[in-house]
Amino acid sequence: MDKKKKLNKGAILNRDLKLKNEHLLEESCNQHGEINIRQNKRRKRLESLCKGVLVVSVAAISGAITASYIIEKKYNNMVDNRNNSSVIYSNKQQIPKDDKIKELVPKNDINKVVEGLSGIIVGVSSNPESFLQNDITSNMGSGIIIDKDGYIVTNSFLLENTEIVYVKLSSYGSKPIEAKIIGKDKASDLAVIKVDLENLPYARFGDSEKVRVGDLAIAVGNPLGEDMADTVTMGIVSVINKKIDFLDPNTGEKRLYKIVKTDASINSYNTGGALCNSIGEIVGINSLKLTGKYASEGIGISIPSNEVKNIVESLTNYGRVKKPHLGFIGQTIVRNNSSNTQGIEGVYVREVTQGETLFNAGVGPTDIIVGLDNKEIKRMEDIQIIVDEHKIGDTINCKIWREGSVLELSIILTEKQ
C-alpha cells in the first residue's frame, strides 16, 4: 500500500511540474524529430532547438579533456623517431634498442625502476601448470600487489571462464598460490584478487593527473612470477585524459573511463602489469584487451592510476563497480540565434525516474538543468563527466531553470534502483 502511494505521489509530482512549466514552455516537433521550445505570450518568447535524446545512466569514475602539452625538449628526438621508440628488455628475448632513447634514458635508470618493483609484480594464471612453461599462454598475465594483506589488481579478462586463479610470487618459491577472486569489472578490464598472506611488499601508486604528453612510459610485466620482472617495454606518453565509452555487460549501460596511450608496447608479457613514470611510480595498469580493441598499431593502452584506485576500492568493498545514477531522460538545448531567445543553455528534462537521484531532489519534467556541482551545464556530456568524478552518497548542488527563474537544489547521488 505504501509503495502504491509513493508511485501515485511521484506521478502527481511529475504531472504538476509539467503543467506549471507548460504555460511558459510549449513544444513543437518538426519533420526531423527536432524539438523547438518556445515561451508563450505571458513571457518573452524562447526558441531553443533540442538535439540528441539520451537516456542518462550516468556512471562515476572520470573530465574528458584531450591533453595537448608541449613535449619537453629532452624527448624531441624520441618523437622524431617514434616508430622505433618502443624498447623491450626481456629474459625471453632481446630486441635491438634505439640508440637515441638509450642516450636520453640511461639503462641504469630503467634498471632502478624495475628493481623497485621486485616482489611487487606477480604472475597470474587460471592454470597453475602454466608457470612451469617457458612461454606465455593466453591465460597468463601479471598482477600488482596493492597492500600488505595480499590484495592484487590484475586484468579481468585473465579471469574469464574460471572461478579459480593462481598467483606466482617470487618471494614464495616456485609453487603457485591459489587466490580468491574479490571482484572484477569487464568494462575497465580490472579485477581484484587476494592471496592469504601477510606483510607483503606492495606498490606505490603515483598521481596520474600529473602525467603529461611526452613523459617517459615504462611498462613492466612478470607473468612467470620471477625474482625480477622479465619484460620491460619503454616509450613515451602520447595521449592523456582521453575518455572512452565502455559498455557494462552487467547493466547494459555505457560508462566513461579515462585511458593513457603510449607507444610502449603492451603485450601478453606485461598485460596486467604496471605502467611507470621515470621515478618508478605506477601511473597505470596495462591492458592488452583494451589495446587490441581501442588502439591503433604501435600504441598501447593503460588505465590511469587514479581511475584504478576508485575501481579497486569499489571492487574490494562491493565485488563490483558501483556508479551514481541520476535517473532521467533529457536533451541538450542548443542556443537559438533568434532575437527573441533568452539564450538559455542546458539540458532539458523530459522524464525523471521515481526513487532515483533527481526525482528525490525535486527535479521534474520541463526543468532545464543549467548547473551541476558549481559548473555550467551546456550539454548532456557535461553532466556525465561531472557525475563520473563522484561516488554514491556524495552531495552536490544542481541549478535548474523553472518558470523563468533559476533554482538551486541539493542532490544526493544514488545508485540505479
Q: Which three cell numbers stand for residue 245?
A: 565509452
Residue 56's nearest CA partner among 375, 356, 308 is 356
pLDDT of residue 302: 96
Lowest mean pLDDT among 37-46, 191-200, 377-386: 37-46
The mean per-residue pLDDT over the stretch 383-412 comes to: 91
Mean pLDDT over the full length of the chain: 77
Residue 4 has pLDDT above 90, yes or no: no
The sign of the dihedral angle between the CA atoms of 237, 239, 242, 244 is negative
Q: Give the CA distances from residue 359 to residues 59, 326, 390, in Å, rounded to whole numbers and listed in that order.
A: 17, 8, 18
Residue 135 has pLDDT above 50, yes or no: yes
pLDDT of residue 20: 52
Q: What is the pLDDT of residues 309-327, one digit of tens each?
A: 999 999 999 998 888 889 9
Lowest mean pLDDT among 73-82, 145-154, 384-393: 73-82
Q: What is the pLDDT of residues 111-122, one digit of tens each?
A: 889 888 989 999
DSSP H stretches of helix in 364-404:
380-388
The full set of domains in the chain, from first to last, is 2-60+323-412 (2.30.42.10), 73-318 (2.40.10.120)
Query: In which band, very low, low, confident or very high, does the pLDDT at 244 lie, cut at 50, 70 and 90?
Result: confident
pLDDT of residue 37: 55
The sign of the dihedral angle between the CA atoms of 329, 332, 338, 341 is positive
Query: In which band, very low, low, confident or very high, does the pLDDT at 378 lie, cut at 50, 70 and 90?
Result: very high
Q: What is the pLDDT of residues 56-96, one digit of tens each?
A: 333 333 333 333 332 233 333 333 333 333 333 344 333 33
The mean per-residue pLDDT over the stretch 356-381 comes to: 94
Higher pLDDT: 9 or 358? It is: 358
Residue 98 has pLDDT above 70, yes or no: no
DSSP H stretches of helix in 224-379:
288-294, 305-318, 357-361
Phi/psi for 117 (5° steps) reads -100, 5
Lowest mean pLDDT among 123-137, 152-166, 401-415: 123-137
pLDDT of residue 359: 95
pLDDT of residue 16: 54
The mean per-residue pLDDT over the stretch 162-170 comes to: 92
pLDDT of residue 286: 97
pLDDT of residue 229: 65
Query: In which band, very low, low, confident or very high, does the pLDDT at 106 lie, cut at 50, 70 and 90?
Result: low
Residue 238 has pLDDT above 90, yes or no: yes
pLDDT of residue 390: 86
The mean per-residue pLDDT over the stretch 154-169 comes to: 93
Query: In which band, very low, low, confident or very high, does the pLDDT at 338 lie, cut at 50, 70 and 90?
Result: very low
DSSP H stretches of helix in 23-141:
76-80, 99-104, 107-116
Distance CA 155, CA 167 (A): 13
Lowest mean pLDDT among 40-54, 111-125, 232-246, 264-278: 40-54
Residue 270 has pLDDT above 90, yes or no: yes
Q: What is the 3-state secondary structure (H, E, C) of 5-73?
A: HHHHHHHHHHHHHHHHHHCCEEEEECCCCCEEEEECCCCCCCCEEEEEEEEECCCCCCCCCCCCCCCCH
The mean per-residue pLDDT over the stretch 265-281 comes to: 94
Q: How many CB atoms lie within 10 A of CB 279?
A: 12
Residue 137 has pLDDT above 50, yes or no: yes
Residue 416's nearest CA partner among 258, 256, 187, 254 is 254
Q: What is the pLDDT of residues 30-61, one digit of tens each?
A: 443 344 555 444 444 433 434 443 333 333 33
What is the CA 100 to chain-centroid distance, rounded?
34
